[in-house]
Amino acid sequence: MTNIQNDKNYDFLDKFARDAKQAARKFSHLKSNEKNNALNRMAEALIDKMEMILAANAIDVKNAQQKKLAPALLDRLVLNSERLNNMAKAIHEVAELPDPVGDISNVRIRPNGLQVGRMRIPLGVIAMIYEARPNVTSDAAALCLKAGNAVILRGGSEAFQTNTAIIKILHQALESCHLPTAAITFIPTTERDAMVELLKLDQYIDLVIPRGGEGLIRFVAENSRIPVIKHYKGICHLYVDEDANLNIAMNLLIDGKLSRPGVCNALETLLVHEKIAENFLKTAGDLLKNQGVEIRGCQRTSQILPFAKIATDDDYATEYLGLIISVKVVNDMDEAIDHIGKFGSNHTEVIVTDHLPAAQRFIREVHSSVVAVNASSRFSDGGELGLGAEIGISTTKLHAYGPMGLEALTTQKFVLLGEGQTRHEIKTILNK
């Protein structure tokens, strides 16, 4: 398991996925305390074996430096004792979350006395395909197992030694609980061809979640026979309505654009109602400029802020992930909603308004996965929304939409409890 398979024969993937499915069946009916115990052991093992992980990580980091990996990517790759403690803490926190499996809801009695309810069950086998961050390895394993699933992990080549070490330690923890290690299956190669083969195994794998750059996600979506939950980018809009509280608007702009510009729930576009545009943009423009933010605006923006560059359609469609913002002055909410429909990415949109009908209309007509009134786009996050933890964010509407917690790793089956009910009368069936 620790070496890359160098031949081009990927038959082993079939066995890996089959074993994962077998392990998923075992995990699907473990009791919560059995799962929590395994998770806590996994967390403890990461701390106990910290030296082994840091040694493996040092090899990856050295390789990455030699390959001149971009500083941002290198930063994601590096582990230290603080980061490992946080990874362990995150697993303990998942163990503390309520277990969604087995919940029965919507129980109704049909006219014939039949009880019909819906019971939450695990999805089965979930494949995570991700890039540099080694913490995804332990986070994804903990979330998938807690929801009663098995997980197949395919990490990036930069973190290969680190991931291999983490997996070895997690497997020891599972073994100490007499649980199948195939519940956390690690793909011991990062070749694209192997990923393509993996994405064909829809008889074993129930869901694929890619996490990483848009290129990786498109590649997975186009090559997968298995359902994919995807999130291409976050082009989040802040719309400042004519009836906005401008102090709130300014705070949400600062929090949304400046608190962490490199994440997907950061703001990329500011839409301002023409009636308050001059007043608001003058203050906002100076503040953004002083904070080193480049402004790309429409013609009307540049009349108010002469230092603003002119924005193109490409700008409005770009996730900057940095200190640039697109700005547009709109005639009314129609134009704001149209702009979001044309350039948005179904991630998160915010309206600032004190006018109730405007808030109601924005909520009704904007169909992004998170729609906020007078609250920062930065709350668009599983932890902040009360999901406890987040396995990813979906910007497509099937199965899950928006930040995904444990519940998104489950589905619901119908459960029927009867006393011998039949749909047709037996005598009639036999005599027909």
For a copy of itself, which stretch binds (CB under 8 A), given 231-239, 292-300, 326-334, 384-392? 384-392
Q: How far is the CB of 117 from a copy of itself (least distance, A)?
A: 10
Task: Give the nearer residue to a copy of itself in terms of CB position, either 68 or 364.
Answer: 364
Residues 259-278 within binding reach of a copy of itself (CB under 8 A): 259
Task: Give the nearer residue to a copy of itself in terms of CB position, either 52 or 116.
Answer: 116
Task: Give the nearer residue to a copy of itself in terms of CB position, either 92 or 200.
Answer: 200
Residues 389-408 within binding reach of a copy of itself (CB under 8 A): 396-399, 401-403
Task: Give the nearer residue to a copy of itself in terms of CB position, either 56 or 238.
Answer: 238
Task: Give the nearer residue to a copy of itself in terms of CB position, either 121 or 128.
Answer: 121
For a copy of itself, which stretch binds (CB under 8 A), given 64-72, 77-85, 128-136, 241-249? 241-249
In the shown chain, the binding pattern of residues 23 to 62 toward a copy of itself, with x for contact by CB under 8 A and - for none, equals: --x--xx---------------------------------
Q: Of residues 40, 135, 378, 389, which one binds a copy of itself by CB under 8 A?
A: 378
SS3 state of residue 6: coil
Q: Does 196 bind a copy of itself (CB under 8 A)?
A: no
Q: Does 291 bind a copy of itself (CB under 8 A)?
A: yes
- Distance, in Å, from the CA atom of 256 to the CA atom of 258, rounded to the nearest integer, reads 6
Indicate the DSSP class of residue 196.
H
Residue 217: its H or E element:
helix 214-223
In the shown chain, the binding pattern of residues 139 to 178 toward a copy of itself, with x for contact by CB under 8 A and - for none, equals: ----------------------------------------
Q: How far is the CB of 386 from a copy of itself (least distance, A)?
A: 6
* Beta-strand pair 236-240/294-297: unpaired
Question: Among residues 230, 163, 226, 167, which one has the least CA distance to residue 195?
Answer: 226
Q: How far is the CB of 342 from a copy of itself (least distance, A)?
A: 12
Question: Among residues 357, 67, 22, 309, which one has the least CA distance to residue 182?
Answer: 22
Residues 345-364 within binding reach of a copy of itself (CB under 8 A): 359, 363-364
Give the 3-state secondary structure of 305-348. Answer: CCCCEECCHHHHCCCCCCCEEEEEEECCHHHHHHHHHHHCCCCE
SS3 state of residue 252: helix
In the shown chain, the binding pattern of residues 102 to 141 toward a copy of itself, with x for contact by CB under 8 A and - for none, equals: x-----x-x---x-x--x-xxxx-----------------
Q: How far is the CB of 180 from a copy of itself (least distance, A)?
A: 16
User: Looking at this protein, which amino acid is placed at residue 226?
Assistant: I
> Distance of alpha carbon 219 from its chain centroid, rounded?
17
Q: Of residues 19, 131, 255, 315, which one binds a copy of itself by CB under 8 A?
A: 255
- Distance, in Å, from the CA atom of 151 to the CA atom of 315, rounded to the nearest integer, reads 38
Whole-angstrom Cα Rg for the chain: 25
Q: Does 248 bind a copy of itself (CB under 8 A)?
A: yes
Indicate the DSSP class of residue 108.
E
- The CA distances from residue 409 to 104, 151, 226, 361, 394, in Å, are 16, 11, 15, 32, 12
Q: How far is the CB of 364 from a copy of itself (least distance, A)?
A: 5
Report yes or no: 231 and 393 within 8 Å, Cβ to Cβ.
yes
Strand locations in 110-252 (E): 115-122, 125-130, 150-154, 184-186, 207-211, 236-240
